[in-house]
Amino acid sequence: MSVIPPVLLVGAGKMGAALFGGWCRAGLAHSAIVDPYPMAGLDRLGDFTVTTLADLPAAFLPSIAVLAVKPQVAASVLPALNAYLPGGCPVLSIMAGIRLDTLARALGGRPIVRAMPNTPAAIGQGMTVACAGAGVTEAAASLCGRLLAAVGEVAWIEDEALMDAVTAVSGSGPAYVFLLAEILEQAAAEHGIPPALARQMARRTIAGAGALLAASTEDAAALRRAVTSPGGTTEQALQLLMEPDAWPKSIRAAVAAAAARSAALAA
C-alpha cells in the first residue's frame, strides 16, 4: 500500500532526485517527473522516466506538484505548470528565494507551501524548514510534511521573512561543513600526513563530531568545552579560531551574504 499519493515532481536535479528517492522508499503511488531542462543522460529516476510536461498523459492527476527547478527558470516554467494542474492542486516549492505571493500569482492563487531542504536529504539526514501560504488546508500541509519527512527532519515557521536566514544557515550550511573538511585535509597534508590518511582523518572527524552532536542532549558549546582541556592543544587552536575577527566574524558574514542573495532572488 502506498504511503504517499501521486506526485508530480518538476525538476530532476540533485535535490529533486533526493526527495524522489525518499518518497519511493516510503512507498510512492504512481507518479511523474518532468524537467524543462534535463541534464544530459538523465532520463530516469529509479523506475520512473523523466519527461516533459507536454508529454504527460492527460489522465495523470497528481495530488500535489513539487517545484524543484532553479529559481532562475521559474518564470518560464510556472505558467505551463499552472495550465496542467487540476483545480485546487497544492504546490510545494523548494526553490530558493521565490516568495509565496510570487508563486501564488504565477500559479493562479493555488495553495502553496514553501520549503528549504538541504543536501543531506540524499541520505535521509536532511533538515527542512517549511512555511505555508494562504489557503493551505490542514490536509495539504500534512501531505507536504510527509513528503519532506521522508528525507529527514522538518520544522514549520509562520513568518516567511525568516526563510532567507533559513536558506543561509541550513540550506547552504552543508557547503560550509564540506569546506571545513577540505581545509582540514589540506592542513593535514601540509604537516606531512599522507593524502589518503589526511582525507580519512578530516572526513571521519567531521562525520563523527556531527554524529556526537546529533546524539547528545548538550548544546554545541558544552560539547566544545568538554573536548578543550585547559592549556592543551585544542585550547591553543580555539584561541585563534574564536578571535572576534576569525570564525565568529567569518561565519556571521557568510550567513549574511547568503541570506542577502536569497532575498535578491525574490526581487
Q: What is the pTM of this model?
A: 0.90
Residues 104, 201, single domain; the answer is no
Residues 127, 32, single domain; the answer is yes
Q: Which one of 163, 188, 222 terminates a domain?
A: 163
Find out whether 7 and 68 touch, Cβ atoms under 8 Å: no
Residues 17, 110, single domain; the answer is yes
CB atoms < 10 A from the CB of 181, how many? 17
Q: What is the CA radius of gyration of the chain?
A: 21
State the Cα–Cα distance between residues 165 and 116, nearest whole angstrom: 11
Measuring CA to CA, which residue among 59, 15, 53 is closest to residue 34?
53
Residues 42, 140, single domain; the answer is yes
CATH no. for residue 242? 1.10.3730.10
Digit-coded pLDDT (tens) for 164-180: 999 999 999 999 999 99
**Residue 231 is part of which domain span?**
173-265
Residues 147, 53, single domain; the answer is yes
Residue 55 — very low, low, confident or very high, per pLDDT cuts 50/70/90?
A: confident
Count CA atoms within 13 Å of residue 132 on its CB side.
17
Residues 74, 140, single domain; the answer is yes
Digit-coded pLDDT (tens) for 190-218: 999 999 999 999 999 999 999 999 999 99
Residue 2 — very low, low, confident or very high, per pLDDT cuts 50/70/90?
A: low
How many domains does the structure of the chain reveal? 2
Digit-coded pLDDT (tens) for 69-101: 988 888 889 999 998 998 889 999 999 889 999
Residues 190, 224, single domain; the answer is yes
Average pLDDT along the chain: 92
Residue 111 lies in a domain: yes
Q: How many residues does the chain have?
A: 267
Residues 60, 145, single domain; the answer is yes
